[in-house]
Structure 1
């Protein structure tokens, strides 16, 4: 495995130091991860150890749950629910970045019902966040039972919904390719917003499978984006049509980023095929329960006895899949 620069999405924020620091498992601080010397792997402008000591050797308070209201409820497809939720002003501001997500659940249910959902759109004028939920299991069916005007519990903000965030933020005055499939068409919207805000041109390659409609079309109407419907996967492999189209775009040296907003199978195949040709970013599809690095449900194990808590660790897509143990 090549040298990897890892980061913690919460380092330097109001939620740092967290419970990992208290357990000597800090991702950034060497002294809060069991070592006896100062050797932070990625300096964030603040000393995590000093913050921890100043807070009485206790972690900072973690995310709150807000009793928010459902402003609108729309069935985009038979199994895709769009919710518009009124939230406090600060929470709306904190969720207006690429990779933002929340945990939501029906009131009067246990925290086990917390469902991680990526943010599709934030209206900062009205403090309304929009999410698209694919109805798949017990948690999402529980949310489906809620109606317009009812209350919903929202816990956040969380920011690690995308790997390779640095590549998105640093791309300016250039061109980017977005490959989106299925429900991945929802979390790609803030990525496109950021890329265009940085004066980049975007080409969107869209595979609607398994849906019939383009679930985030309304939020892209304001942009002049080149959109191509294209099948990306066939029997678990990238289609020749998709490979040829991306390769033709990459040959144009102005394209500097390929973002994949889809399931891990597509992110893995795209990373394996194009990681040596262009900078990459992709969705974080880890299974999550707490979002704070404590429960371990998002943990993945890698060769060399390395464990990554994917709710907090920010890394490149190539490092996300390289050396990953499946068992």
Structure 2
């Protein structure tokens, strides 16, 4: 990734927005830095909420629990020593008093299906911490004494909790919208009660487009002073919300959203998280931290 370490005499990190690799190399005595650590963590609780939804609580080292408190935190987990079965999962809650970390998993493929075999008192291998699970972190951290709208759909309910906690701790007034589809229930209800008085259930997507209900709600909330909209769901939901805001000329309303890139190494090396943009630009989404409008503008979806 680093042009200077390749032998060139100038910096050419055009699409790299992470930590300067060359500076880290120099500061570490001209040697590559040690990678993320792995931890063996004991499973405290396992809950099968639905056929394809799994809730796991595990005991983490105190330092790891502290690092995973922030919005956008995620880890790679696996049930054995085979590192090819690493699964990136966003953190739903990290309790720094009990060091218990909670994650909610949607079972999709062969990697996540192995997690169905986990039982209480088993050990999981955790690699982390990582923090780029949300785009627009700067907007979230800087919003104080203001108003924000949080729209969560499906499994996006889980990673929305740290964002809601951060916005609540910054004394913002929150409007929470939950679309539980395709699930039967809102499985983050107990966490929402800690940070907000309630939430509204609304269908957000109708035939691949934003529903009229959510459009009306967004307009009303902007009129009431909302300056930030956080979208926790699939890329199509984030894209449609940004498109709607730009169509009604509300580019001043800031947006943050989930990072749904397919990750493997988490370090910007393997290329599984890359997305291609106009002008043949390639961005590694596991490291890029920017406004979501920059992520979806000019992105080639096909």
Instruction: Please tell me the TM-score bracket, short chain as reference.
Output: over 0.9
Report whether the alignment pairs 1:112 with 2:80. Answer: no
User: CA 1:220–1:305 in 2, change beyond 3 Å: closer, same or farther?
Assistant: same
Aligned to 1:260: 231
Report whether the alignment pairs 1:304 with 2:279. Answer: yes
Q: Give how far 1:326 is off.
A: 3.0
- The separation in 1 between residues aligned to 2:102 and 2:184, in whole angstroms, is 20
Report whether the alignment pairs 1:73 with 2:34. Answer: no
User: CA 1:184–1:34 in 2, change beyond 3 Å: closer, same or farther?
Assistant: farther
- The separation in 1 between residues aligned to 2:5 and 2:140, in whole angstroms, is 30
Q: Give how far 1:222 is off.
A: 2.1
Check the 8 A contact 1:201/1:225 in 2, yes or no: no
Aligned to 2:182: 210
Report whether the alignment pairs 1:59 with 2:32. Answer: yes
Check the 8 A contact 2:55/2:103 in 1, yes or no: yes
User: CA 1:203–1:36 in 2, change beyond 3 Å: closer, same or farther?
Assistant: same
Check the 8 A contact 2:165/2:195 in 1, yes or no: no
User: CA 1:292–1:50 in 2, change beyond 3 Å: closer, same or farther?
Assistant: closer
User: CA 1:127–1:305 in 2, change beyond 3 Å: closer, same or farther?
Assistant: same
Aligned to 2:57: 84
Q: Give how far 1:65 is off.
A: 1.3
Considering only aligned residues, what root-mean-square deviation do their CA atoms show, in Å? 2.1
- The separation in 2 between residues aligned to 1:146 and 1:127, in whole angstroms, is 19
User: CA 1:240–1:50 in 2, change beyond 3 Å: closer, same or farther?
Assistant: closer
User: CA 1:54–1:165 in 2, change beyond 3 Å: closer, same or farther?
Assistant: closer
Check the 8 A contact 1:71/1:85 in 2, yes or no: yes
- The separation in 2 between residues aligned to 1:117 and 1:324, in whole angstroms, is 24
Secondary structure of the residue that 1:301 maps to in structure 2?
strand
Correspondent of 2:97 among 100, 104, 125: 125
Secondary structure of the residue that 1:220 maps to in structure 2?
helix
Aligned to 1:28: none
Q: Give how far 1:35 is off.
A: 6.4
Aligned pairs for 1:194-205 within 5 A: 194-205=166-177
Unaligned runs of 5+ in 2: none
Q: Give how far 1:54 is off.
A: 3.4
Cα deviations by residue, 1:145-195 (Å, 9 ceiling, x for unpaired): 010100001110000000011010000000100000000000000000000
Q: Which has the larger displacement, 171-180 or 211-220?
A: 211-220
Aligned to 1:97: 70
